[in-house]
Amino acid sequence: MPYAHSSVPGAHLLLESDFVNKLYESERGLTRRALLRTSLIGAVAAMAGQLIRPSVSRAGDLPEGRLTFVNLWTDERLDVTYRDEFGTYDLDALDDVNHILRCHHTGEVGAMDVRVIEHVNLVQKKLGGDREIYVVSGFRSPAYNAILVRSGRRAAKNSLHMQGQAIDVQIAGVHPKTIRQVALELGYGGVGYYPRSKFVHLDSGPFRHWEGSRRARRSKA
């Protein structure tokens, strides 16, 4: 069952992660879905002006809401249409996305921020064609993140992966450096480039970028 439409212009793009994720993590019964649909309309009305990215203001400005994910840890593949041409999101499809992007270490499934899914989609479509998205890391459980931090590996103590707001990806047939360049041109969210591991980190936080273990730099734009 999809998210309901709202009369607010561009409302289907105004996806405040804290609000949506708290509801989305709740039970999935029809009553809960009805609550989500009703509450989302009221929430987006109060958030008018917060868009996916500065140059996106209408559903028609977004690419087709279809992506193909391949989980590199489990070899699972998901070809999913999570949003229709009118900007309506499909809850069942988003469940499937959450599942394939689950924490590979613990198996815990988190609620992914729809904005980071759109971020990946914008980058992928700007590269041209429908390419497979190889998932290096999606949702990360707090327990697994703590293990990574203690071991000294690349993991922030308050990683956005734990909030379902970040995805580390490779894209079929595209060099990670090119992925980074395209993401920087879009000017949305966080863009981290890891040349040794050959992946790019994308998130729905404020626009900033970094390479490897270097400190993040905010855009002056």
Biggest CA pair distance of the chain: 49
Q: Identify the bridge partners of residue 190 per DSSP, sorted by sequence position.
A: 203, 208
In Å, what is the CA distance from 119 to each residue of 33, 93, 196? 25, 17, 23
Helices then strands, counting H and E runs in the chain, come out as 6, 8
Asked if 121 and 63 count as a contact pair (C-beta separation under 8 A), the reply is yes
The backbone torsions φ and ψ at residue 145, rounded to the nearest 5 degrees and listed phi first, read: -60, -40
Residue 134 has pLDDT above 90, yes or no: yes
Q: Residue 7 has what DSSP assignment?
A: S
Residue 207: pLDDT band with limits 50, 70, 90: very high
Containing H/E element for 53?
none
Instruction: Return the residue matching tokens 């009305």.
Output: 45
Residue 109 has pLDDT above 80, yes or no: yes
Q: Identify the bridge partners of residue 138 per DSSP, sorted by sequence position.
A: none
Residue 120 has pLDDT above 80, yes or no: yes
pLDDT at 218: 42
Burial of 221 (0-12, 13-18, 19+ CB in 10 A): exposed
Greatest mean pLDDT among 23-32, 37-46, 125-134? 125-134
pLDDT at 149: 81
Question: Cα separation of 72 and 59, whole Å?
Answer: 31
pLDDT at 87: 80
The mean pLDDT value for 65-84 works out to 95
Residue 213: pLDDT band with limits 50, 70, 90: low
Residue 4: pLDDT band with limits 50, 70, 90: very low
Question: Cα separation of 40 and 59, whole Å?
Answer: 16
Q: For the CA atoms of 156, 157, 160, 161, what is the dihedral angle to 10 degrees? A: 80
Q: List the domains of the chain with CATH numbers.
A: 60-218 (3.30.1380.10)
- The radius of gyration of the chain from alpha carbons, rounded to an integer in Å, stands at 17
pTM: 0.72
Residue 26: pLDDT band with limits 50, 70, 90: very low
pLDDT at 169: 97
DSSP string, 85-103: TTS-BBHHHHHHHHHHTS-
Q: Are strands 132-137 and 65-71 parallel, antiparallel or unpaired?
A: parallel
With pLDDT > 90 as the criterion, what percentage of the chain qualifies?
Answer: 48
Give Cα 215 distance to the centre of its chain: 22
The mean pLDDT value for 99-116 works out to 93
The mean pLDDT value for 21-41 works out to 40
pLDDT at 61: 65
Where do the H-state alpha helices sit in 101-194? 114-126, 142-150, 176-186
Asked if 110 and 123 count as a contact pair (C-beta separation under 8 A), the reply is no
Instruction: Return the residue matching tokens 């863009």.
Output: 191
